[in-house]
Amino acid sequence: MLMPENEVDETDCCGNGCTNCILDNKPKPSQQALLAGKRNVILSYAKFKMLSNEMHNGDAQLRLLHFVYVASDDEENDGILDIPPGHHVMLRAELAGHAAPLLRPYSPYWTDFVAKEFKILVKLQPGGRMSDYLATLEPLQVLNFRGPIGNYVHDSSSPKSIYIIAQGVAIAPTLPLVAQVLDKEDDMSCIRHLICVKDLDHVYFRGRLLEFAQYWNYRSCLYLAHQKCSCGAVNCDELCVHLKKKLHYNETARRLRLDAMQLAGQTISSDQSGSIVIIAGTSIFQRAMREQAIIAFNLSNKNIYLL
Ligand SMILES: Cc1cc2nc3c(=O)[nH]c(=O)nc-3n(C[C@H](O)[C@H](O)[C@H](O)COP(=O)(O)OP(=O)(O)OC[C@H]3O[C@@H](n4cnc5c(N)ncnc54)[C@H](O)[C@@H]3O)c2cc1C
């Protein structure tokens, strides 16, 4: 039986305890779709054909997957694809030998509203069920996705200090969050993009970050917990001549973990009333960073969004 759009039940939940569970954040018609007078094609499970499955950063475990919507033969061309920044989609796969479909959430880092295409960055987990399936996918195979799932909405008419904290591959869904602010000339919000990774080899989308850095209202800092440096010090930053050689022009980096003290050093404005913090990463990372952000900026939970 086909479920009406927007309906969800327990079988739609992947059971992984996502912060923004589909049961609490039903896919709902987007403002953009309503304004365009069109249907958002992904509101209930829809077919998407894979256009490419490429390695990222020279790492075979990291895949950039690109999908395009497949319309049914009798469907009018009246749809758009709206996955707002900060929202994720649910992939449902029917795997051989498994009675129930396998559900896993993924966060697009690029979407084309009109062409109905999106891209995700996937870190394949050794022994992971969906990872094993995705690793062998060939272009033109068709998968089922549903969404958008999430609750973050950016209001460009009210300028804010936005702190975006990203861990590892979870930098991917933070890119559209940054772009939606920078792409709008009259958006006066300021962004601090704080990227937590093992070392420089694990900074993904570095080129994109350098493009963002050309905007007056964007600054980033790389927190490299395990980066080695020939200076021999326990930690150093972009002022170290040895580390500087490995950085691009104007890149800032610290060879340590992000904590409340480091966060406080990134303060955009002394008036924190209009500040929000967005955290992308594993649930353990999100909880730890939320604690640090509360200490550093004296914010309440309602100003902190976990993706
Ligand atoms: C909101 C949200 C958005 C997400 N977005 C992305 C994204 O954009 N990109 C991305 O790569 N991931 C993303 N994830 C994670 C993603 O949904 C999956 O969890 C991930 O791809 C692993 O799924 P899997 O089925 O391959 O692994 P699983 O089968 O779930 O296994 C995960 C790990 O546990 C191990 N494991 C499994 N079973 C056992 C067991 N019995 N004993 C010991 N170890 C075991 C596996 O070997 C594997 O390493 C997101 C998660 C959330 C909550």
Q: Measure 138 CA to ligand 1 centroid, in angstroms.
A: 21
The pLDDT tens digits for 49-64 are 999 999 998 899 999 9
Higher pLDDT, 21 or 258: 258
pLDDT, position 14:
74
Tokens of 143: 């998968």
C-alpha span between 266 and 163 (Å, rounded): 9
Burial 9-45 (b: 16+ CB within 10 A, else e): eeebbbeeebebbbeebebeebeebeebebbbbbbbb
pLDDT for position 166: 98
Evaluate if residue 242 carries a pLDDT over 70: yes
Quick one: 100 exposed, middle or buried, by C-beta within 10 A (0-12, 13-18, 19+)? exposed
- Residue 45: the pLDDT is 93
**In contact, 218 and 161? CB cutoff 8 Å:** no
Residue 2 confidence class, pLDDT cut points 50, 70, 90? very low
Average pLDDT over residues 257-283: 92
Query: What is 249-266 written as a DSSP string?
Result: TT--EESS---HHHHHTT
Report the alpha-carbon distance of residue 62 to residue 254 in Å, rounded.
Answer: 25
Distance between Cα 43 and ligand 1 center (Å): 23
Other CB atoms within a 10 A radius of the CB of residue 145 amount to 24
- How confident is the model at residue 8, as a pLDDT? 76
Neighbours of 84 (CB within 10 A): 19
DSSP labels, 197-234? ESSGGG-TTHHHHHHHTTSTTEEEEEEETT---TT--S
pLDDT at position 274 over 60: yes
Cα 10 to Cα 30: distance, rounded to the nearest angstrom: 23
Q: Best of 131, 134, 282 to mutate for ligand 1, by most ligand atoms within 8 A of CB? A: 131
Sign of CA dihedral 19, 224, 247, 194: positive
Name beta bridge partners: 110: 119
For the entire predicted model, the pTM comes to 0.90
Check whether the bond before 84 is cis (ω within 30° of 0): no
For residue 189, CA distances in Å to 90, 180, 186, 192, 302 come to 30, 11, 9, 10, 18
| Averaged pLDDT of the chain | 90
Q: Is the CB of 305 under 6 A from ligand 1?
A: no
Q: 267: pLDDT confidence band, cut at 50, 70 and 90?
A: very high
DSSP string, 149-191: E------TTS--EEEEEEEGGGGTTHHHHHHHHHT-TT---EE
| Candidate of 106, 152, 202 to mutate for ligand 1, largest count of ligand atoms within 8 Å of Cβ | 106
Distance 162 CA to ligand 1 centre (A): 28
Q: Kindly compute the dihedral angle of the four CA atoms of residues 184, 189, 192, 193, in this order, to the nearest 10 degrees.
A: -30
pLDDT score of 36: 75
Q: List pLDDT tens digits, range 169-225.
A: 999 999 999 999 999 999 999 999 999 999 999 999 999 999 999 999 999 999 999
